């Protein structure tokens, strides 16, 4: 009984059609025994015709539902198989742990990169300072040699 209710929960349309079919059959059987059987009015024959026509009506109404449901279930099953193949977990570690490990590794690399950038900036500052000092020395030498050549010759050692 439990399996039937689970099936009915998964397939509510089919369960409704089945319920209507059972109701039609029950009403027809009840009418079969309640209606007086008189050979003059043909009551029994009418009830049998009613049962057959009710069953045909229920079958005609439920057949398209059954076929469309079967096709959609087959499509869902095929799509589910594709998805299952795509997301199958063959990893030895949990995805969250792997993601955390990668994040930690990237953060460590970024920290190293920042430190290297600080060192490079310090080196560039030192080179600029040294370059500025060299410019000052070169300017003094040019002043002594080219601007004031006489003072240079006077201070030069003689052989």
> Using CA atoms, how far apart are residues 110 and 104, in angstroms rounded to an integer?
10
pLDDT digits (tens, 9 = 90+) for 77-107: 888 888 877 777 676 777 788 889 999 999 9
- Better pLDDT: 148 or 144: 144
Q: What is the pLDDT of residues 23-52, one digit of tens each?
A: 777 777 776 666 555 555 555 666 677 777
Name 15's Cβ contacts closer than 8 Å, sequence gap at least 6: 7, 8
The answer to whether the CB of 24 falls within 8 A of the CB of 54 is yes
With 0-12 CB in 10 A as exposed, 13-18 as middle and 19+ as buried, what is 127? exposed
Q: Which residues contact 44 (CB under 8 A, 6 or more apart)?
A: 32, 35, 37
How far apart CA 61 and CA 67 sit, in angstroms, is: 11
């Amino acid at each position: 009984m439990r399996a039937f209710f689970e099936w009915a929960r998964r397939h509510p349309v089919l369960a409704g059609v089945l319920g209507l079919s059972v109701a039609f059959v029950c009403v027809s059987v009840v009418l079969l025994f309640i209606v007086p059987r008189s050979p003059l009015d043909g009551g029994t024959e009418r009830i049998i015709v009613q049962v057959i026509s009710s069953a045909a009506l229920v079958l005609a109404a439920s057949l398209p539902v059954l076929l469309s449901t079967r096709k959609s279930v087959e499509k869902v099953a095929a799509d589910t198989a594709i998805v299952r193949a795509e997301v199958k977990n063959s990893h030895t570690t949990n995805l969250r742990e792997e993601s955390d490990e990668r994040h930690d590794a990237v953060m460590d690399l970024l920290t190293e990169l920042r430190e290297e950038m600080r060192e490079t900036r310090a080196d560039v500052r030192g080179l600029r300072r040294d370059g500025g000092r060299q410019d000052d020395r070169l300017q003094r030498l040019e002043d002594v040699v080219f601007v004031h050549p006489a003072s240079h010759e006077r201070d030069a050692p003689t052989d």
